[in-house]
Structures are given as structure tokens and as C-alpha cells.
């Protein structure tokens, strides 16, 4: 009898222990589930907070990688761009008169034709600039360009200081014209890059057309100079030396 009571007590103890363990495990799972749900809830809350913050952010803060169209019209960069357009607009209109004077004072027919042709091209370039002003909502306006003014004054001095009907003058005029072309290439190259950075794609495309034309004209002048004018100018110098020796 005593042994039977012991067995029952042992069995009862094991059963109680099993139930206790079961309750403990159940509680553990419940707590774990509760913590997991709380974690997910917190993550969702943080995600919603970030999402709301992103939606409420200003266009400028969301678009740090590029120019903000909302602020460009009133920015210093935009004003500089417009001033640069005014500068090159004046330069092109002044160059049209300069090219006409150069053409009238050349000896070589192909150089004269090049100056006259580029004068027509320059007129088209002026029209492009007027289109760009219109795109910007502004009336075309010229601002005196000291650089082009100086280059054209230098060209006028060349004509005064060289003899009529000489290839030496033609050679010097090519140098003057290429200085002007190189100035324009630098100006238009910078304007193209700036226009694209500011998001003015159509304006950039128009400026690129002009830039390509300036490069073509520069290459043509080099071709004319190397084709025969430089040699003709050297021949004139050699003839002068021979005449001086004979005297």
C-alpha cells in the first residue's frame, strides 16, 4: 500500500509539472507573439512617418540632384544666363557689320565669299537668340560686349595698316576673324552647358546649332589660309625684299 501511494504521488507530480510547463511555454509563445506584433506596429509607424515626411518635403529638398525649376527664374544663375545672352546678342549684331567691312576689303575671292556667307549665317544666329529670349519670356535685348567690340576695332586697324589688294591683309583679316570665332565658340560652348544644367533643353539645342556653325566657319578659314593665302602673303614679302635689294 505505501508503494502504491508513492506511485500515484509521483504520477500526480509529473502531470502537474507537465501542465505547468505547458502553461509556461504557452505564455512564452504569447509574449513572443505580442512582442513581434509590437515590433511590426512600430516599424509600420516609422515607415508611415517617413512617408508623410517625404510627401511634405519641399520640391527643392526632394530634388537636390538637379536644378529646381521653381527657383531658377529668380536665381542669380538665371540672371547671369540672361546677361550672357544679351552679351552674345550684341556681339552677333555687331559682327554682321564687321563681316561686311571685312568682305569689302579682301583680295581673295574665296575669302570674300566666306565672309559674306558667314554674315548670312550670323543673321540666322541672331534670330535663334531672339527665339531663346522668347522662350525665357523676355524681349530680345542687347548688352554691349567689350570683347567683341575690341576684336572688331582690331580688325578695323588691320584694314588701315595694310595695303589694299594684298594677301597680307587677307592673312591678317583671317587672324582677326578667327579670334572672333574663337570668342564665340567659347561663349556658345559655355551657354550650351549652362542651359542644359538649368533644364532649358530647347534653348540648349538652338545654342548648339550655332556653336556647330562657328566651329565650321573657323575650320573653313583655316582651310582657306592654308590653301593659298598664307603662301601668297609670304610671296609678297619675298618680292618686297627682292625689290629693296635691287634698289
Cα-based distances in Å from 78 to 170, 212, 213? 41, 24, 25
Note if the pTM is more than 0.75. no
Which residues neighbour 202 within 8 Å (Cβ) at sequence distance 6 or greater?
135
Burial group, residue 29, by CB count within 10 angstroms (0-12, 13-18, 19+): exposed
CB of 135 closer than 8 Å to CB of 78:
no
CB of 151 closer than 8 Å to CB of 97:
no
Cα-based distances in Å from 29 to 20, 33, 119, 144, 208? 14, 6, 88, 83, 70
Q: Where are the domains of the chain?
A: 1-52, 76-246
Higher pLDDT, 194 or 30: 194
Let me know how long the chain is: 247
Cell of 13: 507530480
CB of 82 closer than 8 Å to CB of 136:
yes
Cell of 170: 587677307
pLDDT tens profile 162-194: 999 999 999 999 999 999 999 999 999 999 999
Hey, which bits of 131-247 come out as E strands?
none
CB of 181 closer than 8 Å to CB of 214:
yes
Q: What is the mean pLDDT of the chain?
A: 79
CB of 53 closer than 8 Å to CB of 184:
no
pLDDT tens profile 121-140: 999 999 999 999 999 999 99
Straight-line distance from the first to the last Cα atom of the chain, in angstroms, rounded to the nearest whole number: 160
Task: Name the CA radius of gyration of the chain, rounded.
Answer: 41
- Flag whether pLDDT at 23 surpasses 70: no
- State percent of the chain over pLDDT 90: 65
pLDDT tens profile 82-122: 999 999 999 999 999 999 999 999 999 999 999 999 999 99
- Crossing angle of helices 76-104 and 167-197, in 10° steps, is 160
- Flag whether pLDDT at 14 surpasses 50: no
| 76-246 is a CATH 1.20.1260.10 domain | yes
Amino acid at each position: 500500500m505505501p508503494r502504491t501511494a508513492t506511485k500515484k504521488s509521483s504520477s500526480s507530480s509529473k502531470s502537474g509539472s507537465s501542465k505547468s510547463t505547458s502553461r509556461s511555454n504557452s505564455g512564452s509563445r504569447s509574449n513572443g507573439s505580442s512582442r513581434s506584433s509590437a515590433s511590426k506596429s512600430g516599424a509600420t509607424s516609422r515607415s508611415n512617418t517617413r512617408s508623410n515626411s517625404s510627401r511634405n518635403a519641399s520640391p527643392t529638398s526632394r530634388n537636390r540632384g538637379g536644378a529646381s525649376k521653381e527657383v531658377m527664374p529668380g536665381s542669380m544663375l538665371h540672371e547671369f544666363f540672361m546677361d550672357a545672352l544679351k552679351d552674345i546678342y550684341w556681339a552677333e549684331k555687331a559682327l554682321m557689320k564687321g563681316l561686311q567691312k571685312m568682305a569689302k576689303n579682301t583680295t581673295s575671292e574665296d575669302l570674300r565669299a566666306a565672309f559674306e556667307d558667314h554674315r548670312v549665317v550670323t543673321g540666322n544666329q541672331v534670330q535663334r537668340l531672339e527665339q531663346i529670349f522668347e522662350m525665357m519670356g523676355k524681349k530680345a535685348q542687347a548688352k554691349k560686349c567689350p570683347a567683341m567690340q575690341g576684336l572688331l576695332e582690331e580688325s578695323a586697324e588691320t584694314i588701315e595698316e595694310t595695303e589694299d589688294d594684298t594677301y597680307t591683309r587677307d592673312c591678317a583679316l583671317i587672324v582677326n576673324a578667327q579670334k572672333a570665332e574663337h570668342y564665340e565658340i567659347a561663349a556658345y560652348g559655355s551657354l550650351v552647358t549652362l542651359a542644359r544644367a538649368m533644364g532649358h533643353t530647347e534653348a540648349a539645342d538652338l545654342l548648339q546649332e550655332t556653336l556647330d556653325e562657328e566651329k565650321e566657319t573657323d575650320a573653313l578659314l583655316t582651310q582657306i589660309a592654308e590653301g593659298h593665302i598664307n603662301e601668297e602673303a609670304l610671296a609678297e614679302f619675298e618680292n618686297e625684299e627682292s625689290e629693296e635689294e635691287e634698289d
